[in-house]
Amino acid sequence: MKRPQPYWEDVQVGDDLPGFELEINAKRVFLQISGSQDWYPVHHDPEFAREAGHQDVFMNTGLTQAALVRVVTDWMGDEGFLRKFYFEMRRQHRPGDVMACKGRVADKYVQDARHFVECEVWAENEREGVTTPGRAWVILPSREEAA
Amino acid sequence: MAGAYDIEAVRRKYVGMETVPTRGRYPVEHDPIRRHCHMVEDTNPLFLDPEYAGKTPWGSVICPPSGWLAMYFASFGPWPPVFEPLVPVVPTPGKRIVNMNQEVEWFDAIRVGDHLSVKRRIADVYQKPISLDQEAVWIVSESIISNQRGEVVCVVRNTLLFHRSPEEVAAAEQRDT
- Residue A47, C-beta contacts closer than 8 angstroms, at least 6 positions apart: none
Q: Is residue A9 part of a domain?
A: no
d(CA A87, CA A133): 6
Q: Is residue A4 part of a domain?
A: no
Which of A31, A40, A51 minimises the CB distance to B39?
A31
d(CA B89, CA B176): 26
Q: How many structural domains is chain A composed of?
A: 1
Indicate the pTM of the whole model: 0.89
**C-beta atoms surrounding A100 within 10 Å:** 18
For every one of its 177 residues, what pLDDT tens digit does chain B have, with 9 covering 90 and above? Answer: 445 889 999 999 999 998 888 888 889 999 999 999 999 999 999 999 999 999 999 999 999 999 999 998 987 655 565 545 445 578 899 988 888 899 999 999 999 999 999 998 999 999 999 998 999 999 999 999 999 999 999 999 999 999 998 888 998 888 887
Contact between chains at A70 and B58 (C-beta distance less than 8 A): no
**Could you say which residues from 75 to 94 on chain A have a Cβ atom under 8 Å away from some Cβ of chain B?**
78-79, 81-89
Q: Is residue A100 part of a domain?
A: yes
Set of chain A residues whose Cβ sits within 8 Å of the Cβ of B87: none
CATH says B7-176 is which class? Answer: alpha beta
Q: Is residue A135 part of a domain?
A: yes
The domain of A133 spans 14-146
Contact between chains at A84 and B106 (C-beta distance less than 8 A): yes
d(CA A86, CA B159): 11
- Residue A100, C-beta contacts closer than 8 angstroms, at least 6 positions apart: A19, A20, A21, A123, A124, A125
Assign residue A142 the CATH number of its domain. Answer: 3.10.129.10
The DSSP bridge pattern shows strands A129-139 and B117-127 to be unpaired
Q: Is residue A2 part of a domain?
A: no
Is the ipTM higher than 0.90? The answer is yes
Set of chain A residues whose Cβ sits within 8 Å of the Cβ of B99: 60-61, 89
How far apart are the CA of A46 and the nearest CA of chain B, in angstroms? 14
Q: Check whether A108 has a pLDDT greater than 90.
A: yes
Residue A2, amino acid: K
Q: Is residue A120 part of a domain?
A: yes
- pLDDT at position B45, please? 98
Contact between chains at B39 and A70 (C-beta distance less than 8 A): no
The DSSP bridge pattern shows strands A81-88 and B137-146 to be unpaired
How far apart are the CA of A89 and the nearest CA of chain B, in angstroms? 5
- Whose CA is closest to B86, among B76, B94, B77, B78? B76
